[in-house]
Structure 1
Amino acid sequence: MDKRQLGWERHSIDLTGPQSHVLVREPGVGSLSIGPASPGRQVDLVVAADDRIDWHVFDPFRTLSDYPWPRFITYTGSDGGLFDWARTRSIEDATWVPLLTGDRTIDARDSRLHKLRLHLTEPGGRLHLILPDRSASPHFTLELEGDLSRFSCEGVAPKYLTLAPATRRRDANRPVDLPARGVLEQVERLTLWNDPLAQPVSLCCLAHFPNLRSLTLRGAIADLDRLADHPQLTGLELRDMPDLSGLPPLATWPDLDGFIAIDIDDGVGKRLRRELNARARQRPFATHARIAKLRQPDWWAREYGRPFAAWPPRRAKAANAAFDTAQAAIAAATALAEVQAAITAFTLHFNKVKGIETTERETLADAVWQLGRADAATALGTTDALALQWFDAARDY
């Protein structure tokens, strides 16, 4: 059946020049992605990283409920006009991957942004953001991911803040200390987001957040004992945390109205259940309280053991297949040369894959590090340095 009969719409738009693009709108889809073509990632409208974009071409488009369309925008590139456009219309959810060759200041104080995600995952210049005023965006949410040292800001602190610093599996024993975040440290609601098996994020940074009332922690987090310095917390959420050592008792937070712990360390989780039951008998939580899915150590290795979880599904499937082959070869190895051959073959496989990005190269290095740490590999004399040496010698990405 013709897509037009299914309600699909085709529009010629002047995105980067006269009739430069054809926009295809699928019924019920409120999202739109714009950026350079990238292997394994589908982009709705392909533009070069430095193309100037006329964002107003989307002004005529509305949803069936007469809400401005698109509702969710993902843009990869260097054009800051998105924030000027947001002064004239509300944007529900915007994700920007800034591809900057130099430092840039973006004035978003009058931008009507409900949620902004900044993925600082590509090398480039520093980004300074003048945050939206409360009059323009009273419930503004900011999410920062990647190299946080490249970001600075001024203005009014957001209503909600998420920090997801770049971490590596190879440095699992060295906690990450977050740099000072200026005005962002005035927030009341904070989320720290991390991979469960990566190097942990240290909670020493919380000393800079005097107004903190609600905290969500996800993944590998270190220095949990520092939570005792924040007895004013009214909300605490713990998710995907294999190590809860040092976590203070729930009685540390007498005003705690909500507590959630899901997919957490089994040992501490049982302790928390006892404390939660005792607390409920004395004074029930005003909002919600839940502890679920307590996990044994082997579960984390099984569910999060592979480093390709963030890759697009098709690309991740191929990477996992190559990893399986290398892992099996190493398990059967009887000499160091056979381990080298397996890791080299794994590395060479990706020389045939187009467009390996910086973050993907780091993920592949983490995978090689993981292969080199297999019992069979270390028994034959493989070291971290040796595995990564073989990786660097074979790759051309």
Structure 2
Amino acid sequence: MERNTPTFISLTGENSHKIVIPPGQGSFSIGTKNISNGKYDVLVAEGSAINWDVFNEMYTPHGKQNADRSPYGDWPRFFYYSGDDTGFIQWSEKRKIENINWAPIGPMKADFTKANINELSIHATTNPIELILGENINKLYLSGNLANIQIKASPGTTLVQFAPDTSTAADNNYSIPEFPSLNKTVTSVHVDNTVIGTAVDCSSLLQFKNIQSLNLSGNITNLQAIAQLHELEYLGLRTMPDLTGMPALKIWQKLKSFIGWNIEETQGKVLQQELKAILKEKEMGYSSVSKLRKKIWFTTEYGIPFTNWEGKNVKIATKAYKTALKEISKAKGEQEVKQAIVKLIELVNTLPNIETIEREDTGTAVEQLIESSPLNLPQELATKWFDEVRDF
């Protein structure tokens, strides 16, 4: 197909959709009209049957020159689909799908036993999803409300990645639900959590008995539990604000590689020394500890209080907050810190529609700015300066 040229495709009927694909785009996204959030290349009506065979005639320039090797097309390489038509599963039996990111809308039962999909991503919301996976699905990515996903079989899956909606947690910590069918085959586990919010409890990872590779990012708790993963060979910790309970690296006798990146500095410095000692005793694959951060950095970088504001106010307040943060990081005295904070409050004074929630967000911002100061100023100053200057 020609790129950047309008093309009609018979996705749900004869020439039902006009698409324009920019050069170099290897993916194609299909959403359900009036239901799917975000931008998609095409939208289909709810309940419409999708003609997945329409992609049999679609090729990359290279694929077109070698069409005999790809009789069912080779474009797109990746699919993003929000909807309930499961025809892509049967279609994949004759044409391999490199990656499909699927967000079912209603309750779903799907059998992927014969599917030829290398990487399968499933996003769950409020409805139950029941899956039977096959030998060809090597990598599985699960996101959203994981408690609504049930996997009855997964004989070929060796890697699983979790990106949970931790707001569904019943208490302060979030536990990955039990997935018995994954326990024996999975050797690589990734957990991607938000930096600010409910922490994922590492003890819930112990259900995967054969973990050789573990990558954690975001807010994670009960790190001491991973000391029980005796087969661990590769460990990555990225963008983690709290490393409380982190085991000593030397306990993993089979460890071949360790990455600590963008992590809190106190424990990060300990890990640097531990890694240095290990490297004196044995060779390892690429290993490093870098980008050490003060704990407050994660709050100020990822927890900016104004992100839920509306309209132009959010950009104006966020920019002023970041400016104050830079000025405070260089401040040599209390007065300089106060000046930076006062400028932020005075700017918010000029913004329209500042009500209770916005007032509380601004107060939180001032508290964070005080805490970010290298001068160890008392938090009482935040309330004092805030009340002195605000007129909202």
| Shorter-normalised TM range | 0.7 to 0.9
Secondary structure (helix, strand or coil) at the match of 1:342 reads: coil
Q: What is the identity, as a one-letter code, of the residue corresponding to 1:112? A: N
Question: For residues 69 and 369 of structure 1, do their structure 2 counterparts lie closer, same or farther at Cα, with a shift above 3 Å needed?
Answer: farther
How is 1:12-23 mapped onto 2 (pairs within 5 angstroms)? 12-23=8-19
Asked if 2 retains the 8 angstrom alpha-carbon contact of 1:35 and 1:75, the reply is yes
Question: For residues 172 and 90 of structure 1, do their structure 2 counterparts lie closer, same or farther at Cα, with a shift above 3 Å needed?
Answer: same
Question: Structure 1 CA distance, aligned partners of 2:362 and 2:161?
Answer: 32
Question: For residues 241 and 25 of structure 1, do their structure 2 counterparts lie closer, same or farther at Cα, with a shift above 3 Å needed?
Answer: same
The answer for the alignment partner of 1:210 in structure 2 is: 209
Asked if 2 retains the 8 angstrom alpha-carbon contact of 1:172 and 1:198, the reply is no
Shift of 1:34: 0.7
Identical aligned residues as a percent = 30
Q: What is the identity, as a one-letter code, of the residue corresponding to 1:183? A: S
The answer for the alignment partner of 2:162 in structure 1 is: 163
Secondary structure (helix, strand or coil) at the match of 2:154 reads: coil
2:77 pairs with 1:71: yes
2:260 pairs with 1:237: no
1:203-258 deviations in whole A, cap 9, x for unaligned?
Answer: 11122111111100011000000011112201100000010010000011011001
Q: What is the identity, as a one-letter code, of the residue corresponding to 2:109? A: T
Secondary structure (helix, strand or coil) at the match of 1:278 reads: helix
2:57 pairs with 1:60: yes
Structure 1 unaligned spans of 5+: 334-340, 347-367, 381-397
Question: Structure 2 CA distance, aligned partners of 1:8 and 1:48?
Answer: 25
2:354 pairs with 1:342: yes
Shift of 1:172: 12
How is 1:24-103 mapped onto 2 (pairs within 5 angstroms)? 24-36=20-32, 41-66=38-63, 68-100=74-106, 103=107
Asked if 2 retains the 8 angstrom alpha-carbon contact of 1:35 and 1:43, the reply is yes
Question: Structure 2 CA distance, aligned partners of 1:207 and 1:26?
Answer: 44
Answer with 79-88 or 252-261: which moved more.
79-88
The answer for the alignment partner of 2:226 in structure 1 is: 227
How is 1:130-141 mapped onto 2 (pairs within 5 angstroms)? 130-133=132-135, 136-137=136-137, 140-141=138-139
Q: What is the identity, as a one-letter code, of the residue corresponding to 2:42? A: L
1:114 to 105, 112, 118: 118
1:60-108 deviations in whole A, cap 9, x for unaligned?
Answer: 11112216101111111111112121111111111111111xx321011
Question: For residues 320 and 292 of structure 1, do their structure 2 counterparts lie closer, same or farther at Cα, with a shift above 3 Å needed?
Answer: same
Using the size of structure 1 for normalisation, the TM-score is: 0.75
1:316-363 deviations in whole A, cap 9, x for unaligned?
Answer: 98583376599999x759xxxxxxx624686xxxxxxxxxxxxxxxxx
Question: For residues 300 and 178 of structure 1, do their structure 2 counterparts lie closer, same or farther at Cα, with a shift above 3 Å needed?
Answer: same
The answer for the alignment partner of 1:358 in structure 2 is: none
Question: Structure 1 CA distance, aligned partners of 2:32 and 2:354?
Answer: 34
More relative contact order in 1 or in 2 (CA 8 Å, sep 6+)?
Answer: 1
The answer for the alignment partner of 2:315 in structure 1 is: 321
The answer for the alignment partner of 1:289 in structure 2 is: 287
Computing the radius of gyration from Cα coordinates, the structure with the larger value is 2
Using the size of structure 2 for normalisation, the TM-score is: 0.76
Asked if 2 retains the 8 angstrom alpha-carbon contact of 1:11 and 1:23, the reply is yes
The answer for the alignment partner of 1:365 in structure 2 is: none
1:114-140 deviations in whole A, cap 9, x for unaligned?
Answer: 1111122x43x211111122xx34xx2
The answer for the alignment partner of 2:330 in structure 1 is: none
Secondary structure (helix, strand or coil) at the match of 1:59 reads: helix
Asked if 2 retains the 8 angstrom alpha-carbon contact of 1:171 and 1:198, the reply is no
Asked if 2 retains the 8 angstrom alpha-carbon contact of 1:145 and 1:164, the reply is yes
Asked if 2 retains the 8 angstrom alpha-carbon contact of 1:8 and 1:27, the reply is yes
Asked if 2 retains the 8 angstrom alpha-carbon contact of 1:8 and 1:26, the reply is yes
Structure 2 unaligned spans of 5+: 64-69, 322-340, 347-352, 368-381, 385-392
Asked if 1 retains the 8 angstrom alpha-carbon contact of 2:161 and 2:192, the reply is yes
Q: What is the identity, as a one-letter code, of the residue corresponding to 1:175? A: N
Asked if 1 retains the 8 angstrom alpha-carbon contact of 2:8 and 2:18, the reply is yes
The answer for the alignment partner of 2:390 in structure 1 is: none
The answer for the alignment partner of 1:129 in structure 2 is: 131
Question: Structure 2 CA distance, aligned partners of 1:262 and 1:118?
Answer: 27
